[in-house]
Amino acid sequence: MLFVLGVLVVVVGVALSIALHEIGHLVPAKKFGVKVTQYMVGFGPTVWSRRRGETEYGIKAIPLGGYVRMIGMLPPRPGDAPGQLRSSSTGRFSQMVDQARADSMEEVQPGDEDRVFYKLSPGKKIVIMLGGPMMNLLIAFVLITGVITLYGLPQVAAKVGAVAQCVPTAAPTVQNPQPTCAAGDPKAPSAAAGLQQGDRVLSIDGKAVSSWDQISATIRDHAGTPTAWVVQRGDQKVALTVTPARLQRATYGSDGKPVVRDGKLVLAPMGYAGIVPGQDLVKTPLLEAPGYVWDRVLDTAGIIVQIPQKMAGVVQAAFGSGERDPNGPISVVGVGRLGGEVAAVDIPDSEGGNWVKLAQLVLLIASLNLALFVFNLIPLLPLDGGHVAGALWEAVKKGVARVRNRPDPGYVDVAKGLPIAYGMSLVLITMSVLLIYADIVKPISFFG
């Protein structure tokens, strides 16, 4: 039941994000006098619609997008009178473009000639087309800022997050750099000393502890040496003696990956206590929120840039024995599944309970909005960034003409980019189908 509830929360969040994205286009379009005939959330058959004035507002059956239909998105071909098209085009793509122009002009009724999109100034076109992505950025900013300033972000703290029960004595390998315990392995020093999950480390050998790095360094450098710990456990301070075991452990580079030389894992002797760090929720100051959100935008952009490369891994995972990259692309189906996992996981009230789940769901929806923001800025039709690129090129041409005292060069013919739009649409549909299939047969999970 909780899983279904989590999925529904994500579905509603996605639908609202799409609806607000389209409002980002709708409001400035109407403000600038463009006639808008439809505002739709979703694709496919119409489930519900109502007409208000000249605009039909509705919901369609497939909640994977939305659109605002503005008249006159495509200009007439240079040399054609508005509303008229020559029929001399040859070639499949030319005919497709001319048909698209004709369909666009059919929406222009008598009296609407000056309410078409293509006649707007480049600046107004940019405002309208950026309105959708900027709405997604605003949604993400509000959601992320609310979570990190009012609830907080988990950060590694000087406390025990989990206690291992034994010392893994198997030798690390390239395939398994962190072996797990096997039958007959000795008891872990942390368990033997009586450490418990939630213990906050106050001092080791009389030296005050304020970070996990201090704890980790002490364990690493004191293999086989008893160390005196004082921990806070509830309202009590408890004194313990921990003697880290000496193990050959994998070494890691600055990239976080195990160091391998000549096909072998590079090992080093170090202490092992058998504990992992706990986390505290730390609230972010409001003035630091914009910087944090900007860092997430850059992270999202980095992932999107790598989508073509990562799609190969998705195909291998979906149709072969490969594993899904947890930082790779996922579909709306995958996002919904993650939302269900978050809602269904059992988190004790002492560790935040339902508040942790709510914060994770909010951040999941915020991440989706960041992805929509960045993805729509790609300067290719039919994405918003493609129309923005056309408007910017038009502004450059008009500006150069003014500087050189030349005639106005007219509108940029974005219709010439329709073959690219058709190709891009095919790529997006193919990617979506592959991702949905992969998210069904081999989904990404928050919890392994």
Q: Check: pTM over 0.75? Answer yes or no.
A: yes
- In angstroms, rounded to a whole number, what is the distance separating the alpha carbons of residues 87 and 390? 25
Q: 208 by DSSP, 3-state: which?
A: strand
- In angstroms, rounded to a whole number, what is the distance separating the alpha carbons of residues 334 and 344? 15
Q: Locate tokens 């880290």: which residue?
A: 244
The verdict on 195 and 257 lying in the same domain is yes
Per the residue annotation, which of 22, 107, 351, 394 is the catalytic one? Answer: 22
Beta-carbon contacts of residue 84 (< 8 Å; ≥ 6 apart): 76
pLDDT of res. 352: 66
pLDDT of res. 446: 65
Q: Give the residue from 253, 282, 311 where a domain finishes.
A: 282
Query: What CATH number is associated with residue 171?
Result: 2.30.42.10
Q: Give the residue from 282, 297, 323 where a domain finishes.
A: 282
The verdict on 360 and 443 lying in the same domain is yes
Note if the bond before 382 is cis, omega within 30 degrees: yes
Which helix or strand (DSSP H or E) is residue 301 part of?
Answer: helix 289-305
The verdict on 160 and 143 lying in the same domain is no
Tell me, yes or no, whether 353 lies in a domain. yes
The verdict on 305 and 357 lying in the same domain is yes
The verdict on 183 and 272 lying in the same domain is yes
- In angstroms, rounded to a whole number, what is the distance separating the alpha carbons of residues 397 and 414? 14
pLDDT of res. 93: 63
Tell me, yes or no, whether 29 lies in a domain. no
How many domains does the chain divide into? 2
Residue 242: which of 194, 187, 209, 193 has the closest Cα? 193
Residue 224: which of 204, 248, 247, 250 has the closest Cα? 247
The verdict on 7 and 147 lying in the same domain is yes
Tell me, yes or no, whether 92 lies in a domain. no
- In angstroms, rounded to a whole number, what is the distance separating the alpha carbons of residues 395 and 12? 39
Amino acid at 447: F
pLDDT of res. 97: 73
Tell me, yes or no, whether 113 lies in a domain. no
pLDDT of res. 79: 59
Expressed as residue numbers, the domain containing 355 is 1-13+133-152+285-448
Cβ 45 vs Cβ 61: under 8 Å: yes
pLDDT of res. 425: 84
Q: How far is CA 321 from CA 45, 65, 273, 331, in A?
A: 38, 32, 35, 20
Mark residue 285 as left, alpha or beta (left: phi above 0; alpha: psi -120 to 50; beta: remaining): beta
Residue 329: which of 363, 298, 305 has the closest Cα? 305
Cβ 86 vs Cβ 66: under 8 Å: no
Cβ 53 vs Cβ 36: under 8 Å: no
Q: Give the residue from 234, 251, 282 where a domain finishes.
A: 282
The verdict on 148 and 161 lying in the same domain is no
- Longest CA pairwise span in the chain (Å): 91
The verdict on 339 and 418 lying in the same domain is yes
pLDDT of res. 349: 66
Q: Locate tokens 């004191």: which residue?
A: 222
Beta-carbon contacts of residue 82 (< 8 Å; ≥ 6 apart): 76, 105, 108, 113
Cβ 197 vs Cβ 222: under 8 Å: no
The verdict on 195 and 137 lying in the same domain is no
Residue 18: which of 54, 34, 42, 36 has the closest Cα? 42
pLDDT of res. 59: 92
- Answer yes or no: 323 catalytic: no
* 10-residue stretch averages of pLDDT, the chain, 448 residues long: 84 91 96 93 90 92 86 76 51 69 77 89 94 96 95 88 84 77 84 90 93 91 92 92 87 78 81 87 92 94 86 84 79 84 74 78 93 92 89 91 88 80 85 87 72
Residue 359: which of 304, 367, 138 has the closest Cα? 367
